[in-house]
Structure 1
Amino acid sequence: MIKHLRIVEDNRASTSTRFANYIIDLIVLIVINAILSFASLIIYSFTSINFFYFYNNGGLLWEFFTGNLISFIYYFLWEKYSNGRTVGKYITNTKTISIDGNDVTTQQVLYRTLSRIVPFDALSFLGGGNGWHDSWSDTRVINVNNYLAEKQAKDDINSLGTKEN
């Protein structure tokens, strides 16, 4: 069981910031998909390989599958290799951390990313609480500046009375 720190909860990103993260990341995903669609059209025109035709004309189920696959790859790679951040989180100066205040683990990133496949998960944080992908993975999205300032203040208080070398 992970220890739940109050400092993490006190510095959660606001609902409007979370929504901005979602919109920014959605725009990035749309651009990625447009690039992949354009590339598949060009490759199909030169090779006539049916997969590249199917990528743009596969129907609703195929679009759901490829959309979730691209989204999974995007969120997993960004949050794993950029310390809990995505493009949206960089722009809004937020990041994902574990509820115990540590950086997210690979397992937590995997759970967060898989949880995003659940319909309406992307908007589950709009009720004012934590999103489903936060609750199910024991993570929170925090405001970096506020969190670090409060953490530094607590560290300074804890170091009072200790002897300096």
Structure 2
Amino acid sequence: MQKLNKWLLNNVFGVSLYLAISSLLFQFANFYNLDFNGLVTWIHSFFNFSYANFDFFRIDIFNVEIYLDERSFVTWCYLDLVFYILFLIAAIVYNFSKYKELKVLKFCFSLMFLFSILSIMFQLHRLVFDFENTSLLSIVYFAKAIFMFYVCYFYLMTWKSQRVYIDTEKMSLPDFKTFTLKRAEWYQRLLHYLLDMFLILCIFSKYIFEFYFGALIESLSDMVGERFAASIVFFIFSTFYFLVFEGFFKSTPAKYLSQTSVVNLKNEAVSFANILGRTLCRRIPFDVFSFFGKIGWHDSLAYSTVANHEKEPSKYKSIYIVYIILLIVLFLYKFAEEFRLF
């Protein structure tokens, strides 16, 4: 295991580049419905790590229709492609920055980590409840998901151990006199909330359309009403999301981008009780607006907050800004097309 860990540390760029490029290639292969037979099937099974599957309620704004011929076309959610292109850009920037620019790469690996967990759960369900139809390929998929989980977990835990926080030497919180770290600003917290909520909806909304989850949600709606059922489902998915990320890494994908993470207000190690308290307190109505004050409710009630890491000025912001502008233009075009504004 030590040899594998050493190899992974020495090949962050290579691993990232492979995951991004191979995922893009396999995305196009799946898109064009290429016929996988024999050896090609095994190659696809072993080397395809394109676990990301974003699906924002399958709404048309995030879908494109591409015609394969005059009579047939396929509908494709372009959010997966957006993610893998971002992954590729992050890997290249990481290499050109001499292994210093990590925040977007951490963001990508954190999402791959979550998708690997979901893949493990899915494959495990198939192995346990559909064992009669289990094939060798199913075992390969399960082992591959575990391997992907370990790779992402190892990288994220390694980078977690390298965090250095900014010490302000100011007692801005009188109730916690030993706390001296620089807390994230209110606008950072707002951006965390918006991006994390968007990712939760993108990642988990697809399960609403799955047979088992769809039947469960329909039954729940009949019992408690559609609106309350939706609240329960969102509570389950969002709780899982925050417990996984803040429980393991004290950070969420959005916090990786802003280079912040959860810390204890008493300068102690962040416990799982702190994380669980934060997660449950997020259910308090209007909790998000409490951060316009001095300290938010799910911070103060759980004796935790979000602090900034020390960071070097980025030389590659313009690359990401251009990419974001292109995505905004694409979204506006799809929005105008959907609502027939031109």
TM-score, with structure 1 as normaliser: 0.72
CA-based RMSD = 2.3
User: What is the aligned counterpart of 2:226 among 55, 59, 81?
Assistant: 59
Residue 160 of structure 1 is matched in structure 2 by none
Question: Post-superposition shift, 1:7?
Answer: 1.2
Question: Post-superposition shift, 1:74?
Answer: 0.9
Find the aligned partners of 2:232 and 2:272 in 1 and give their Cα distance. 23
Residue 237 of structure 2 is matched in structure 1 by 70
Is 2:189 aligned against 1:28?
no
Is 2:279 aligned against 1:113?
yes
Residue 46 of structure 2 is matched in structure 1 by none
Residue 132 of structure 1 is matched in structure 2 by 297
Structure 1 ranges of 4+ moved more than 6 A: none
Find the aligned partners of 1:145 and 1:89 in 2 and give their Cα distance. 14
Describe how 1:60-99 pairs up with structure 2 within 5 A. Answer: 60-82=227-249, 84-99=250-265
Flag the structure with more relative contact order, 1 or 2, with Cα contacts below 8 A and sequence separation at least 6.
1
User: What is the aligned counterpart of 1:12 among 160, 167, 183?
Assistant: 183
Find the aligned partners of 1:55 and 1:33 in 2 and give their Cα distance. 17
Question: Post-superposition shift, 1:5?
Answer: 2.0
Find the aligned partners of 1:19 and 1:50 in 2 and give their Cα distance. 34
Q: Aligned with 1:145: secondary structure?
A: coil
Q: Aligned with 1:124: secondary structure?
A: helix
Rg larger in structure: 2
- Answer yes or no: is the 8 Å Cα contact 2:179–2:267 preserved in 1: no
Q: Aligned with 2:310: secondary structure?
A: helix
- Answer yes or no: is the 8 Å Cα contact 2:245–2:252 preserved in 1: yes
> C-alpha offsets along residues 80-103 of structure 1, whole Å, 9 cap, x if unaligned?
111x10111111111010012333
Task: Read off the aligned partner of 2:239 and give its amino acid letter.
Answer: F
The percent identity for this pair of structures is 26
Find the aligned partners of 1:54 and 1:92 in 2 and give their Cα distance. 40
Task: Read off the aligned partner of 1:19 and give its amino acid letter.
Answer: L
Task: Read off the aligned partner of 1:76 and give its amino acid letter.
Answer: L
Question: Post-superposition shift, 1:112?
Answer: 0.6
Q: Aligned with 2:251: secondary structure?
A: coil
Unaligned runs of 5+ in 1: 147-165
Find the aligned partners of 2:244 and 2:308 in 1 and give their Cα distance. 21
- Answer yes or no: is the 8 Å Cα contact 1:37–1:56 preserved in 2: no
- Answer yes or no: is the 8 Å Cα contact 1:12–1:140 preserved in 2: yes
Unaligned runs of 5+ in 2: 1-174, 312-342
Question: Post-superposition shift, 1:52?
Answer: 5.5
- Answer yes or no: is the 8 Å Cα contact 1:37–1:55 preserved in 2: no
Question: Post-superposition shift, 1:70?
Answer: 1.1
Question: Post-superposition shift, 1:130?
Answer: 1.0
Q: Aligned with 2:306: secondary structure?
A: strand
Question: Post-superposition shift, 1:53?
Answer: 4.1
Q: Aligned with 2:284: secondary structure?
A: coil
Find the aligned partners of 1:119 and 1:33 in 2 and give their Cα distance. 22
